[in-house]
Amino acid sequence: MSPFFLALLLVAGLLPFTASQSFQCGSGNFSFNPLANGKECPCSVDTFLEFVESGCPVPASPKQDNETVFLGGVLDLIEFDWSMDIFQVTVDLYNQGFFLDNDGSSINKRILTYSLDNSKCDETEAIRAYWRLRTKNGNVPPDGIVGERCSGPTQELANLLGVEGIPQLSPSATSGRLSDDVRYPEFSRVVAPQNEHGEALAMRALLRSFGWSEIAILTTDKSYSQDWDTNLRKVWTGIHHDDTGSWTGVVSHSDTFRMTPDGLDIDLHSINQVFENFPSQSVRAVVLLAHNADALRILEMAAQLKFQQDTIWIGSDLNEIRTWRISSNPPPAWIGLTPYRNQNANAVAFKDRLDDFHMSKGLQPWPRLPMYAAETVDSIVLLAHAVDLTRDQSAGGNVAATVTATLRGIIYENGVSGRIEFEANGDRKDPLYSIISMGSDGEWIEVGVASTTLATADLNMNMICWGVFGCSLKEAPADTYPEPRTRLPPWAVAILLVICLALLALAFKYWRSTQSKKRLKSELGRLQKSIVGMRAAKVTYIPNSVLEDSCRRHNIESRASSRVSSLILSASPSSSGIEDARVQWCWEETREYYITHSPSEFFGDPNDCWIMYDDYCNQLLETAFKQHDGKGTISLDPMDYIVDLEAMTQTNKSTGFVRKVLRWQEPAKKATSLLSGTETESSNGSACVNFPVELLGEPQMVLIEGDLVQVSKLRDDRWAFGTKLFHADEEIVREFVKVASASSDTEIGNESDICADTGWFPHDWATRLPTGDDLGGLQKNVSDTGELEAPSHWDPIKNPLVAQRHSLDAKSPEYQRVRSAFLSTLKSKKTKIHGIERIQNMAMWQSYVVKRQTICYREAELDRPQALQRFEKCWLWHGTNREVYEKIIQQGFNRSFCGKNATVWGKGVYFARDAEYSSREAYSSPDNRGIKYVMACRVMVGEYCVGKRDAITPDLRCSRTHSLFDSTVDRLMNPSIYVTYHDAQAYPEYIIRFKFLE
């Protein structure tokens, strides 16, 4: 049962019920009678707020005894096995008046009681634990909840408590998502969030304390590490101006360690691969973002493999003091952040009383408070104090007072974890972090404190050990390696040797370049002739449904990055049939440095020394120029320049150096209208091409200049359906499609109206025949043009752009092979096969082969047979009907006409391991003769992950390359469902027509 649904049952269980009537909701073990206002409350709603809005409000809770405060602790009592002792000692001391307010008076006014329950760091168990606490208290909710430990269960619990109006204070949940005060109105925490406003800023301060500006980042593929990576990059990369001066933060390398399928350990092959891919002697400072046990495992392997032994490792959330047990002498340089270890009088006094408690039980006192123990103490004290204050306010007539509002207004100077103040959303304000370092004896030692408000940390450099560099250095080692020195032999020998080598190198380079060009030209020529219907995008094309819908366009631009916004601006606002005049922005280089640039950057007469801006800056400048009528200024970030659009100058913000700027514009050209075939020009200088009405509801493809597309269908009106073979900029297109889909109106069917890889586009206006230069990127992925030819068992191809169907002879080996595979997974159903047809679609086959080779050759460690065996499935099954399979045969798979029967594992095209699944009525509906249809498909599943409901893309596979998984599945071990998101990933080889006899 899902955590949301279970929580719903618990909320519903709070409604009045009688013993004589009961109601079983879902598959849970909860029976109750959800009657409110004379009607039955639904149990199929998705959120707690919907439950309340449907007419089933949670009733007001019975009042607690005014002289007693009752708190519930929902914690992971296995991982936080110390929490029972902490709760008992803290509550006893609270009732004894041990904790003092800021004015020195005792903080307690009422007796504090409590009860604990085990959440096991699990979403479902956290909800059950709260329910058990409430039940033990006579079905009266606690005055507040301390917990949960883990962020995932905390979000589920906070959702429920938000509906009930129960305040929640967590000592350890750090997810940035919990900062959403609208979604979690009753949630607060005494630990800082792990986002760009919290721990990431402290990490930046630590790194800047060493004078570093360039780092590498290594992570695991857990969501904790990926979130850490995202937030650290937000505060690190780019140009900064702070107390340390002006500096540019750079992440020069990043990579990801893959976890094993059970998520319990790191894949050893992945560790080897990450270390092998690390650039040798480029960057020395490596930030390792991983849970503590995973980080130690990685450093153990680094020591065994003798990986770059002078690496300085920077980590986070180091859980405890422990002895270093790695056979490395000296121990690696390992420095990191941990929640602040307070050493003031309040913390010492509490530790003394805790030691007395343990000795009274015959137990050995703890060496120090465990991680988050001090925050747990403060959570108990502050939540009880807030309840006290709120009851006093309510008694004084302030009926609107709430415990959460009171809590967030408290400033507590005497916390065991230090001074505590809250932000308006319940996050801890201005948190501190202890900095710890691995000493020469393998023990952790505290070396300083970092905050989120200062540019550098307060460090004791003499206490830090730097591994092979030793301890007590005055300055930290450099973040990168120095340039190697050039040692020169005697001058006469050196001159002769250099001249000879230079001449030989130039001659060899020229010969190799000539041969390489000849070979590349030959390969590109073969590739150009091999792929049928291939076109190159000559302009940026975005469907009119996006550009002309001002509301939708505004929604996209408000969600999108600056790159996606510039993509929208670069597209013609009316799908112009006339090419825009080319505009080029340039800057003036000094004459002595002009020749150091590539000739491809030169513009105009070389004597004028003009250098062209890159495409991104060129678009930014032109967009600003048009929006502001050639006036004002624009900052070229992350470069340190400001361009004055009126004075046409560029100024370096750091040095004040000024250069001239040039804007060159080519006159606009007329073009032929796609609709009439005549030269037309509208009042705004563009011709409009409208999407055919009969195609509304089918997908349109986004194009960027340089994309390569294979056409599978071309209409008389010159609208074409095609599949993307090569992306000129895949990342920006996928971001645009994702943002556009999220902002579309799903009620009118626009959810899939634009695609990154497949769809309709204006053939003549948007594309042209490709040249050899266009094919360079595609050629890297297609090394064997022989595979692009039709399979040897096919019948002769009549028209490569038209699909052919060939009925198989029932006695042929090919028929028997398909029949046997189909029947083997039908669970012994009596089936009559009415025919099997082979599908021959040359364009679709070539699209599939290109995608197959792209995935196979991406994995350098696998040879081709290994890659095919691992990544290609022959066959998977796809159920369909008569109307849809005709479209699939001609145009391939697409969500717009493959149906939306399931989105549990993502919004893609679904394939089943077993034909029994695909032959169900929901997927293979019979025609008027009772005939059902199932396709046998080759599917390039590639690397896959577990899918997520309604996701339009798989998860991120590698943060370094921003590449995604290729497909999603229902489970990682022996999947039965595969979902693809690129239409070229699957080729329908056969269509099987059959009936179930029973």
Write out pLDDT tens, residues 784-795: 656 778 888 999
- Note the maximum CA span of the chain: 108
The predicted pLDDT at position 586 comes to: 93
Q: State how far the Cα of 95 lies from the Cα of 388, in Å rounded to an integer.
A: 13
Per-residue pLDDT, averaged over 967-994, amounts to 92
Alpha-carbon separation of residue 117 from 74, 91, 130, 739 (angstroms) = 5, 16, 7, 42
Task: Please give the residue that has the higher pLDDT: either 271 or 681.
Answer: 271
Give the number of other Cβ atoms within 10 Å of residue 877's Cβ: 25
994: tokens are 């059959």
612: tokens are 């062209």
Give the number of other Cβ atoms within 10 Å of residue 738's Cβ: 17
The predicted pLDDT at position 900 comes to: 55
Pairing mode of beta strands 245-257, 238-242: antiparallel
Which range is least confidently modeled, 270-279, 679-688, 929-938? 679-688
Name the residue among 708, 699, 714, 695 with its Cα closest to residue 800. Answer: 714
- Looking at the predicted structure, is the pLDDT value of residue 212 above 60? yes
pLDDT digits (tens, 9 = 90+) for 16-64: 333 323 333 333 333 333 444 444 544 443 444 444 445 444 433 344 5
Task: Please give the residue that has the higher pLDDT: either 171 or 396.
Answer: 171
The 3-state DSSP class for residue 377 equals: helix
Task: Give the CA angle between residues 395, 400, 403 to the nearest 5°.
Answer: 80
The 3-state DSSP class for residue 272 equals: helix
- Looking at the predicted structure, is the pLDDT value of residue 407 above 80? yes
Name the residue among 175, 528, 186, 639 with its Cα closest to residue 387. Answer: 186
Task: Give the CA angle between residues 306, 312, 315 to the nearest 5°.
Answer: 110
The predicted pLDDT at position 533 comes to: 77
Per-residue pLDDT, averaged over 662-677, amounts to 55
Alpha-carbon separation of residue 3 from 9, 125, 135 (angstroms) = 10, 9, 19
Phi, psi of 410 (to 5 degrees): -75, 135
CA dihedral in degrees (324, 328, 331, 334; nearest 10)?
-80
Task: Give the CA angle between residues 940, 946, 948 to the nearest 5°.
Answer: 110
The 3-state DSSP class for residue 211 equals: coil
Alpha-carbon separation of residue 936 from 334, 893, 916 (angstroms) = 54, 13, 12
- Looking at the predicted structure, is the pLDDT value of residue 302 above 90? no
pLDDT digits (tens, 9 = 90+) for 426-448: 999 888 888 888 877 767 788 89
Name the residue among 780, 758, 696 with its Cα closest to residue 908. Answer: 758
Beta bridge partners of 910: 979
For 779-802, give the DSSP string.
HHH---GGGGSPPTTSPPPS-TTS
The predicted pLDDT at position 483 comes to: 55
Residues 6+ apart with CB under 8 A from 850: 531, 710, 725, 778, 781, 782, 788, 984
- Looking at the predicted structure, is the pLDDT value of residue 915 above 80? yes
Helix (H), strand (E) at residue 956: strand 956-958
Q: Cα Rg for the chain, rounded, in angstroms?
A: 33
The 3-state DSSP class for residue 528 equals: helix
The predicted pLDDT at position 815 comes to: 96
The predicted pLDDT at position 932 comes to: 94
Are 540 and 570 contacting, i.e. CB atoms less than 8 angstroms apart? yes
The identity of residue 290, as a single letter, is: A
Query: How does residue 579 score in pLDDT terms, banded at 50, 70 and 90?
Result: very low
Total residue count of the chain as it appears in this document: 998
Q: State how far the Cα of 852 lies from the Cα of 849, in Å rounded to an integer.
A: 5
Query: How does residue 7 score in pLDDT terms, banded at 50, 70 and 90?
Result: very low
Per-residue pLDDT, averaged over 452-475, amounts to 87
pLDDT digits (tens, 9 = 90+) for 896-911: 555 455 688 888 899 9
pLDDT digits (tens, 9 = 90+) for 182-202: 889 999 999 888 777 778 888
| Helix/strand/coil percent split, the chain, to 5 | 35, 25, 45
pLDDT digits (tens, 9 = 90+) for 748-761: 334 457 888 888 89
Query: How does residue 65 score in pLDDT terms, banded at 50, 70 and 90?
Result: low
Q: State how far the Cα of 383 lies from the Cα of 106, in Å rounded to an integer.
A: 15
pLDDT digits (tens, 9 = 90+) for 91-109: 999 999 999 998 889 998 8
* pLDDT-above-90 percentage for the chain: 26
Per-residue pLDDT, averaged over 151-157, amounts to 87
Are 865 and 881 contacting, i.e. CB atoms less than 8 angstroms apart? no
The identity of residue 231, as a single letter, is: N
- Looking at the predicted structure, is the pLDDT value of residue 15 above 70? no
Per-residue pLDDT, averaged over 863-891, amounts to 86
Which range is least confidently modeled, 199-213, 805-819, 837-851, 883-897? 883-897
The predicted pLDDT at position 465 comes to: 87
Q: State how far the Cα of 901 lies from the Cα of 924, in Å rounded to an integer.
A: 11
Are 93 and 99 contacting, i.e. CB atoms less than 8 angstroms apart? yes
The predicted pLDDT at position 904 comes to: 87
- Class of residue 659 by CB neighbours under 10 A (exposed 0-12, middle 13-18, buried 19+): middle
- Looking at the predicted structure, is the pLDDT value of residue 973 above 80? yes
Q: Is the torsion defined by CA of 872, 873, 874, 878 positive or negative?
A: negative
- Looking at the predicted structure, is the pLDDT value of residue 395 above 80? no
pLDDT digits (tens, 9 = 90+) for 805-825: 999 999 999 999 999 999 998
- Looking at the predicted structure, is the pLDDT value of residue 228 above 90? no
Per-residue pLDDT, averaged over 577-584, amounts to 61
Query: How does residue 263 score in pLDDT terms, banded at 50, 70 and 90?
Result: confident
247: tokens are 């500096």
The predicted pLDDT at position 740 comes to: 79
Question: Where on the phi/psi map is residue 835: left (φ > 0), alpha (ψ -120 to 50), or beta?
Answer: left
The predicted pLDDT at position 860 comes to: 61
Q: State how far the Cα of 13 lies from the Cα of 678, in Å rounded to an integer.
A: 71
The predicted pLDDT at position 890 comes to: 85
- Looking at the predicted structure, is the pLDDT value of residue 490 above 50? yes
Measured in whole angstroms, how far is the alpha carbon of residue 990 from the centre of its chain? 37
Q: State how far the Cα of 150 lies from the Cα of 172, in Å rounded to an integer.
A: 7
Q: State how far the Cα of 107 lies from the Cα of 375, in Å rounded to an integer.
A: 17
Name the residue among 409, 412, 402 with its Cα closest to residue 375. Answer: 412
Pairing mode of beta strands 144-147, 111-118: unpaired
- Looking at the predicted structure, is the pLDDT value of residue 672 above 60? no
Are 986 and 980 contacting, i.e. CB atoms less than 8 angstroms apart? yes
The predicted pLDDT at position 941 comes to: 92
Which letter, b or e, does each residue of 643-657 get, where b requires 16 or more Cβ atoms within 10 Å of its Cβ? bebeeebbbeeeeee
* DSSP at 133: H
Q: State how far the Cα of 851 lies from the Cα of 730, in Å rounded to an integer.
A: 14
Query: How does residue 710 score in pLDDT terms, banded at 50, 70 and 90?
Result: confident
Residue with tokens 């001449």: 503
The predicted pLDDT at position 706 comes to: 86
Name the residue among 272, 338, 277, 282 with its Cα closest to residue 310. Answer: 282
Residues 6+ apart with CB under 8 A from 13: 30, 32, 131
Pairing mode of beta strands 312-315, 285-289: parallel
Task: Please give the residue that has the higher pLDDT: either 5 or 569.
Answer: 569
Are 951 and 906 contacting, i.e. CB atoms less than 8 angstroms apart? yes
Helix (H), strand (E) at residue 459: strand 458-459
Task: Please give the residue that has the higher pLDDT: either 914 or 740.
Answer: 914
Name the residue among 293, 215, 292, 298 with its Cα closest to residue 256. Answer: 298
Residue 592: half-sphere exposure toward Cβ, Cα within 13 Å:
0
Mean pLDDT in the chain?
80
Per-residue pLDDT, averaged over 937-947, amounts to 93
* DSSP at 103: T
Q: State how far the Cα of 771 lies from the Cα of 211, in Å rounded to an integer.
A: 49
CA dihedral in degrees (52, 53, 55, 58; nearest 10)?
20
Q: State how far the Cα of 107 lies from the Cα of 420, in Å rounded to an integer.
A: 15
* pLDDT-above-70 percentage for the chain: 81
